[in-house]
């Protein structure tokens, strides 16, 4: 749990469970695995959080926050099936917060038969065109805000269908094994978002060694950090 966070598009993180399994190319150098290892936690075992963390949005966090949900796991991972309904009740009972639920397991969303009030934003990770099926899954869900996380962006994308998508987050990979991202790949996504009226947010740029580049040192045309129109 993070009452604050360095993630630029969120105010806090909430992990009702933690630990994950790698299912996608973006997972290869998982930042959550690095962080959990640093804190002495087992990334490969999905574990329910202690009650103080599990119930924090309900019992502790009174002021509205934009909360990245399951930053150390995946909200729809199979191992959390027994805990998800209780976590969803907490989310439903705290409409003062905005929950950003990002998943790589989009094929499991509809199976959970959840309600989607306006304070829950639903996102899919899409790092190359091979993950475009996740966008199709996302479009089937009646979330007020549907977004894509194209981070780390690992290849040039083509013919990205943004119909029904309200926000696109892009970023390069961090960490010592960071893979290459061409800035023109990012510009292509930025331009498509602009053409289609989709909010675009460039989260981070990194060096070849995966070190974050300060925002003020970015190319000026890439200093774009838009949020979706919540009245969309």
In a domain, 6, yes or no: no
Six token digits for residue 67: 């909360």
In a domain, 227, yes or no: no
At residue 43, what are phi and psi to the nearest 5 degrees?
-65, -30
- How many domains in the chain? 1
Give 208-215's long-range contacts (Cβ < 8 A, gap of 24+): 208/178, 208/180, 209/176, 209/178, 210/173, 210/174, 210/175, 210/176, 210/177, 210/178, 211/174, 212/174
Coil/strand/helix, residue 202: strand
In a domain, 187, yes or no: yes
In a domain, 5, yes or no: no
Please report the sign of the dihedral spanned by the C-alpha atoms of residue 26, residue 31, residue 37, residue 39. Answer: negative
Six token digits for residue 222: 């890439």
Question: 230 pLDDT exceeds 80?
Answer: yes
Torsion, Cα 28 31 35 36, to 10 degrees, reads: -50
In a domain, 207, yes or no: yes
Give residue 232's pLDDT.
52
- Containing structural domain, residue 56: 12-222
Query: Quick one: average pLDDT of 133-151?
Result: 98
In a domain, 7, yes or no: no
Give rounded-to-5 percent helix, strand, coil for the chain.
Answer: 30, 20, 50
d(CA 230, CA 1): 25
Strands (E), the chain: 12-14, 17-18, 47-48, 66-69, 98-103, 120-125, 145-150, 167-171, 199-204
Q: List the strands of the sheet with 145-150, edge to edge.
A: 12-14, 66-69, 98-103, 120-125, 145-150, 167-171, 199-204
Question: 2 pLDDT exceeds 70?
Answer: no
In a domain, 146, yes or no: yes
pLDDT in tens, 153-171: 999 998 999 999 999 999 9
pLDDT in tens, 83-123: 999 999 999 999 999 999 999 999 999 999 999 999 999 99
In a domain, 2, yes or no: no
Query: Quick one: average pLDDT of 132-147?
Result: 98
């Amino acid at each position: 749990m993070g009452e604050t966070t360095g993630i630029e598009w969120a105010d806090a993180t909430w992990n009702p469970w933690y630990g994950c399994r790698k299912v996608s190319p973006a997972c290869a150098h998982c930042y959550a695995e690095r962080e959990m290892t640093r804190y002495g936690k087992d990334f490969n075992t999905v574990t329910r959080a202690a009650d103080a963390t599990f119930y924090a949005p309900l019992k502790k966090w009174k002021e509205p926050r934009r909360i990245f949900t399951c930053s150390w796991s995946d909200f729809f991972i199979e191992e959390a099936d027994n805990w998800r309904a209780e976590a969803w009740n907490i989310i439903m009972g705290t409409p003062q917060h905005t929950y950003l639920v990002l998943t790589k397991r989009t094929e499991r969303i509809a199976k959970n038969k959840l309600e989607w009030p306006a304070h829950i934003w639903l996102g899919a990770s899409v790092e190359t065109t091979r993950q475009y099926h996740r966008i199709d899954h996302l479009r089937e869900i009646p979330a007020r805000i549907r977004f894509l996380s194209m981070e780390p962006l690992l290849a040039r994308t083509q013919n990205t269908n943004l119909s029904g998508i309200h926000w696109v987050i892009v970023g390069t990979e961090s960490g010592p094994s960071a893979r290459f991202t061409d800035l023109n790949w990012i510009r292509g996504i930025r331009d498509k978002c602009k053409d289609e009226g989709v909010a675009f947010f460039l989260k981070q740029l990194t060096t070849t060694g995966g070190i974050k580049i300060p925002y003020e040192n970015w190319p000026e045309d890439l200093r774009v950090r838009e949020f979706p129109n919540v009245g969309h």
